[in-house]
Amino acid sequence: MPGTAPLWQTYLKLALAAIFWGGTFISGKLVGADLSPAVAAFLRFTLASVVLLVVSLRHYGHLPRINRDDLLPLLLLGLSGVFAYNVFFFSGLKQIEASRAAVIIANNPVMIAVGAAMFYGESLSLRKVSGIILSVAGAITVVVRGDLSQLFTGGIGWGELMIFGCVISWTTYSLVGRRAMRNFSPLVAVTYSAIAGALLLLPLALLSGLGSQVAASSLTTWGHIGYLALFGTVLGFVWYYQGIVRIGSTRAGQFINIVPLTAVCLSILLLGEPLTWSLLMGLLLVSTGLYLTNR
């Protein structure tokens, strides 16, 4: 149980979860070169669903029954956090650099704070508002590559818009998750949402040529799918939620700052992407904003 583990193990798991999530941008970029977004997302969450199901059954002995009132929230979790997020994720990574995508998606906690204030009445202190402004400014800096005139001259492409779709999808997933987790533990809610998302992705994956793409996939592609499913989904989610249970969401949320830093470093080292001044400035602004928002 997370409450009985030494505290240093909790911090280590949170740090590793953030590093794993940073690595998903690299694997997502490479998988997107061989598979369509729908097929990549379906394979990721089909594998993740199987592993999550096994983990949940071993932990609880059985999965709790889904009541009628829980069905819609769980479906919305699968639709937003799995179906929509991953279609946007793989589509965006086909068109823009993994490092830029990571910095944009790093605004997730900031947008969640805004959504929580709008829909749950949570207060926004001056510090949080300052963090939100800095994070949004960082994302804009990355999107327009430091040239604000691109905001008015059509310089924002579909890749950037797809990644912003990830932010909207994950914000929705997180806010709906509050309702779903009233009756389910985080592990069970994630398991059900992964299964629901995989089922929702199946028709689109079939229309995208699931069979032929799977047959033509290389071992390297399957290795990255395995990483996305096992490390980026199962271990990442389970360890992060264990950290929330042990030290609280605010302190656990600080580790999100590691995600864009890891993604940018790995993108430069493994993908050969350039470290531009606009990317560096955006990363600094977003990281500072995340710290102020979650402190």
With 50 as the cut, is the pLDDT of residue 6 above it? yes
As to burial, measured by CB atoms within 10 angstroms (0-12 exposed, 13-18 middle, 19+ buried), residue 230 is middle
Percent of the chain's residues with pLDDT above 90 = 51
Confidence of residue 246 (pLDDT cuts 50, 70, 90): confident
Q: What is the DSSP letter of 2?
A: G
Query: CA distances (Å), 287 to each of 112, 116, 131, 259, in order?
Result: 15, 20, 9, 10
Q: How many CA atoms lie within 13 A of 72 on its CB side?
A: 3
Q: What is the mean pLDDT of the chain?
A: 88
pLDDT for the residue 251: 74
* 179 or 121, higher pLDDT: 121
pLDDT band, residue 2 (cuts 50/70/90): very low
Confidence of residue 210 (pLDDT cuts 50, 70, 90): very high
Which DSSP symbol is given to 5?
Answer: S
pLDDT band at 3; cut points 50, 70, 90? very low
Tokens in use for 172? 């929705």
Could you tell me which residues come within 8 angstroms of residue 232 by beta carbon, excluding any fewer than 6 positions away?
Answer: 20, 21, 23, 24, 27, 44
Residue 230 pLDDT exceeds 90: yes
Q: What is the pLDDT of residues 38-57, one digit of tens each?
A: 999 999 999 999 999 999 99
Amino acid 113: pLDDT? 85
Among 10-19, 192-201, 245-254, name the one with the lowest average pLDDT.
Answer: 245-254
User: In the prediction, which pLDDT does 151 show?
Assistant: 65
Q: What is the pLDDT of residues 153-175, one digit of tens each?
A: 666 788 999 999 999 998 898 88
pLDDT band for position 37 (50/70/90)? very high
pLDDT at 134 over 50: yes
The whole-angstrom separation of Cα 275 and Cα 183 is 45
Say what the pLDDT of residue 154 is: 63
Tell if the pTM clears 0.85, that is, is over it: yes
| DSSP H or E stretch at residue 143 | helix 126-143
Question: Domain of 60?
Answer: 2-294
Q: Using one digit for the tens of pLDDT, what is the confidence trace for 96-117?
A: 999 999 999 988 888 888 888 8
Look at the chain and report how many structural domains it folds into: 1
